[in-house]
Structure 1
Amino acid sequence: MAKHNTHRTPGLARTPIAGARKAAYGVGGAAILGSVLVGTAFTGGAAQAAPAAPAAPAQSAPAAQTAAPSAALDSTEKLRWGSRGDNVEDLQKALNDNGASLEVDGVFGKRTHAAVKDYQAANDLQVDGVVGPQTRGALNGGSSTPVGGSASASSSEGSSSSSSIVDAARSAVGTPYSWGGSSLSGMDCSGLVNFAYEAAGIDLPRSSGAIADGGRTISQSEARPGDIVAWPGHVAIYAGDGQVIDASGSKQRVVERSIWGNPTFVSYR
């Protein structure tokens, strides 16, 4: 009768594998060692990583703040083509704050004049290229009423400048015509207009074309003495009642005479 061999093979120990498996394996055949989950060599199961920590919410950048105007405009001086100085620099900075791209040089020339007109058109202001109370107030972001001023004061100032301009132009009647001149020894049409406006403290462009383009075009019914009457290549001072004062090339002197043809009327006030 055969007997069961109770001898063990030398060097080999019998291990209760089934019991060990039951205690050491979790769902899917993965071995659990403490709190770390690893793959099992017996089943070839893949290791499972612990879930990643949630990312911190992104911080939004602070909203950009609108820059304040670089400079406030002077509340009394009217600026126009030909003006110069610190107030013009402040104007150019204010226009740049509103989208212009000007050199801040303190000279109110062609580019500054065009930028003023663009600003006036964009802000429903009178488009005349002159920085008076309305345009100044809009650029300053406040009231358009000049400090210490009033409508009646402005009207009086306008009447005074009209008289000064016309009186200066009349003082030049009889002066010889001289191309490029602007004095009582001789003057051309734009020289006369500059001579008359200088008497009222107003700087204008030097050429007739720039004078005509630089102001605000008005109708003849709106024209006041001292405004400018312009034809192609020629300018004159409006004297009122259908009369002009001009340095006439054909008459070779400064004269006062009736308006002719279909001129354009231009105001710098």
Structure 2
Amino acid sequence: MATSNSHRAPGRAVTPLRHSGRALRGTGGAAVLGTVLIGSAFASGAAQAAPAAPAAAAVAAPAAAPTAPTSVLDSSKKLRWGSEGSSVEQLQSALNDEGASLAVDGKFGKRTHSAVKDYQRAHGLQVDGVVGSETRGSLNGGASVASAGASAPASGSSSSSSSSGEAIVDAARTQIGASYSWGSSNPGVSFDCSGLTQYAYKQVGIDLPRTSGQQVAAGTQVSKSEAQPGDLVVWPGHMGIYAGGDKVVDAGRSPGAVTERTIWGSPTFVSFR
């Protein structure tokens, strides 16, 4: 009879370790089965995604602050047909910001004059084509901007206007005796009516357009009681310079020369103050 061999034969199956339904608990609460760690990362068969971070509260963008006008007129001087320079360039740029399509050339001519009138009409201003304090203030966003260091009290402005008016009359008087010639503006020699008025105004730094119709359109009509020396006196087809005291200095076909004489008929008066 063969002797019993207590050793396992090679290749013999090993009976699996029987364990109870309770798994041993390892550190951290992970179940341990034999030497296999069933980690918490594998609990329930898959890793659970971390909860999403709460969405940041939407922050409304602050309302845009009102913007100042792109172009600002920094001169307190009136601008009108015939004006030139940087102040006119600023005016043209400001009008372009309002929808005009002007060449910014610093020359206040027909197109700029029309654009000013259109702006005044659209904003309920006096439609005269002259950029004074009201129109300038409107273009500047509601406030007139005086030139640096300038103070312009009403009394000073009136005094300056009066002085300029007297200077215009004096300039016209220097040409008394010059002959009348249509289309002429030749100091000491000959003038037509609008040539004389343009010349006299130019002596005080005001550039008027050349023809009588353009000059009337560029100014502001006033009543006879409001007229001051230096204003224009206008008849159909003719004009002169109001000298005060019911007098006018004009270059007329009759008597064919520049003279100072009494106003006749019922003219209108045009001011550039």
TM-score of the superposed pair, with normalisation by structure 2: 0.70
Per-residue CA deviation, residues 218-260 of structure 1 (Å, 9 max, x unaligned), is: 1111111110011222111011122111001121100111222
Does residue 268 in structure 1 map to residue 268 in structure 2?
A: no
The answer for the alignment partner of 1:188 in structure 2 is 192
Does residue 171 in structure 1 map to residue 174 in structure 2?
A: yes
Q: 1:217 aligns with which of 215, 218, 221?
A: 221
* 1:170 alignment partner AA: R
**Unaligned segments of structure 1, at least 5 residues:** 1-61
Identity across matched positions, percent: 61
5 Å-filtered alignment, 1:138-153, equals: 138-144=138-144, 146=146, 147-153=150-156
Secondary structure in 1 aligned to 2:249? strand
The answer for the alignment partner of 2:25 in structure 1 is none
Query: Structure 1 residue 67: deviation in Å?
Result: 6.6
Distance in 2 between residues matched to 1:100 and 1:65, nearest whole Å? 25
Contact residue 82 and residue 108 of structure 2 kept, 8 A:
yes
Q: 1:156 aligns with which of 153, 159, 169?
A: 159
The answer for the alignment partner of 1:15 in structure 2 is none
Contact residue 127 and residue 216 of structure 1 kept, 8 A:
no
Query: Structure 1 residue 205: deviation in Å?
Result: 0.6
Contact residue 120 and residue 126 of structure 1 kept, 8 A:
yes
Contact residue 73 and residue 87 of structure 2 kept, 8 A:
yes
Taking a change above 3 Å as real, the CA distance of residues 142 and 213 of structure 1, as seen in their structure-2 partners, is closer
Per-residue CA deviation, residues 125-148 of structure 1 (Å, 9 max, x unaligned), is: 333222122221221114236352
* 2:206 alignment partner AA: I
Query: Structure 1 residue 161: deviation in Å?
Result: 0.5
TM-score of the superposed pair, with normalisation by structure 1: 0.71
Query: Structure 1 residue 66: deviation in Å?
Result: 7.5
Distance in 1 between residues matched to 2:250 and 2:120, nearest whole Å? 31
Distance in 1 between residues matched to 2:76 and 2:201, nearest whole Å? 19
Query: Structure 1 residue 200: deviation in Å?
Result: 1.3
The answer for the alignment partner of 1:13 in structure 2 is none
The answer for the alignment partner of 2:258 in structure 1 is 254
* Superposed CA RMSD: 2.4
Greater Rg over alpha carbons, structure: 2
Per-residue CA deviation, residues 41-68 of structure 1 (Å, 9 max, x unaligned), is: xxxxxxxxxxxxxxxxxxxxx9999875
* 1:203 alignment partner AA: D
The answer for the alignment partner of 1:199 in structure 2 is 203
Q: 2:243 aligns with which of 233, 239, 242?
A: 239
Contact residue 134 and residue 145 of structure 1 kept, 8 A:
no
Contact residue 96 and residue 102 of structure 1 kept, 8 A:
yes
Contact residue 128 and residue 217 of structure 2 kept, 8 A:
no
The answer for the alignment partner of 1:131 in structure 2 is 131
Per-residue CA deviation, residues 8-46 of structure 1 (Å, 9 max, x unaligned), is: xxxxxxxxxxxxxxxxxxxxxxxxxxxxxxxxxxxxxxx
Count of aligned pairs: 210
**Unaligned segments of structure 2, at least 5 residues:** 1-61
* 1:80 alignment partner AA: R
